[in-house]
Homo-oligomer: A and B are copies of this chain.
Amino acid sequence: MKRRELLRGAGLAAVATSLAACGANPGGASGDGVSSQKFAWKMVTSWPTNFPGLGTGAAALAEMITQASAGRLTVKVYGAGELVPAFEVFDAVGRGTAEMGHSASYYWKGKAAAAPFFCAVPFGLNAQEMNGWLYNGGGLELWRELYAPFGLVPFPAGNTGVQMAGWFRKPIESLASLKGLKMRIPGLGGEVMARVGAVPVNLPGAEIFSSLQAGAIDAAEWVGPYNDLAFGLHRAAKFCYYPGWQEPGPTLECMVNKAALDSLPKDLQDIVALCCRAVNDAMLAEYTARNQQALDALVREHGVDLRQLPPDVLSALRKASEKVLEEVASADPMARRALDSMRAFRSQAKAWHAVSEESYYANRG
């Protein structure tokens, strides 16, 4: 049973049942069971080409697939706007303009209200828990079901780990400090901020620095030290707050056009799934190493004032988050199922991580 679960996790379920059918691959299988047919795929992404972490992860995924298939499946990566705009990745892969895409499911909440649950929701799961829920807690099955009507097959393909709460030009002393605060914070996190008195605005990443520096906005969240340092946000706002309650462990996605995936020989389908899983492991490792180097630079070299959000602010955000998630779920049956499934997993994860990860962090000195 466990092995079966592991295989399903890696997207190899179909393969496990087709062991006996080896050699019966579509697309010109040779007598040795290896198809020599070649495929040239496009991968559209929501990131600038080679953007640290996200863009480099997408590039590594494409290169891994190309290499592990010995060039039978080549994948060419397109940065945001090169083939389609950042927020048209979902549609472009669905209609087959590109065979695959690298993005984040919370961008698609306008198309499917449940979509954010498979990336990140306020006060949701951290990276380790997202992987547990998606692969071994029913999350990925729900995600596959959600994307099926769009002709898409999703794979977890990266995670940034816990993000930061954001950069603020003035200190946040209490809940009152949020009143009227104009903050760049998109999605459900923005919804939650509105409930506690702030004014959320959405801006593309590239516009955050100039808006913050000009005072057009009072605060902004982006990702975390690794990416924030690259944008120079510390030069536009002095106070950096944690933790990133709005994105505690965002899972990035690789979505594949179902017809394109089905047209591949089984071994190439497996390679696509394996490479997604490998980049899922690789991206979090990269963020873990780079975030801590960048944090070190921000604090030691740039004198950033690093602070935890006050307890009353965190408490208000928690309450507002549960309300917002409940409203999303009340309006959409798939969102209801996703929220219930995530909440059940989170409840057990809290108990387990309290005596494992959390206790270890607190006691290692």
Among the listed stretches A52-60, A78-86, A169-177, which one makes contact with chain B, having 4 or more residues with CB under 8 Å of it? A52-60
Residues of B within 8 A of A38 (CB): 32
Whether a CB of chain B sits under 8 angstroms from the CB of A198 is: no
Contacts of A243 in B (CB 8 A): 355-356, 359-360, 363
Most buried by B among A22, A136, A265: A136
Bound form: Cα–Cα A135–B354 in Å: 27
| Closest chain B CB from A65 CB (angstroms) | 9
Partner of A162, one of B131, B245, B357: B357
A15 within 8 A of B: yes
> A353–B357 Cα gap in the complex (Å)?
11
State A332–B332 Cα separation when bound (angstroms): 61
- B3 near A56 with CB under 8 A, answer yes
Are B72 and A34 closer than 8 Å at their CB atoms? yes
Query: Please, how many angstroms separate the alpha-carbon atoms of A3 and B283 in the complex?
Result: 10
Are A278 and B10 in contact, CB atoms less than 8 angstroms apart?
Answer: yes
Beta-carbon contact of B245 and A360 below 8 Å:
yes
Contacts of A280 in B (CB 8 A): 281
Selected A-B contacts with CB under 8 Å, 27 pairs: A6-B57, A7-B60, A25-B70, A30-B30, A32-B36, A32-B72, A34-B72, A68-B68, A68-B270, A68-B271, A68-B274, A70-B266, A128-B285, A131-B284, A131-B285, A135-B289, A136-B289, A242-B359, A245-B363, A248-B360, A274-B275, A278-B278, A292-B349, A318-B364, A318-B365, A353-B361, A357-B357
Chain A residues within 8 Å of B, Cβ to Cβ: 2-3, 5-7, 9-10, 12, 15-16, 19, 22, 25, 30, 32-36, 38, 50, 52-53, 56-57, 59-60, 63-64, 67-72, 123, 126-129, 131-137, 161-164, 224-225, 242-245, 248, 265-267, 270-271, 274-275, 277-286, 288-293, 295-296, 299, 306, 308-309, 314-315, 318, 345, 348-365
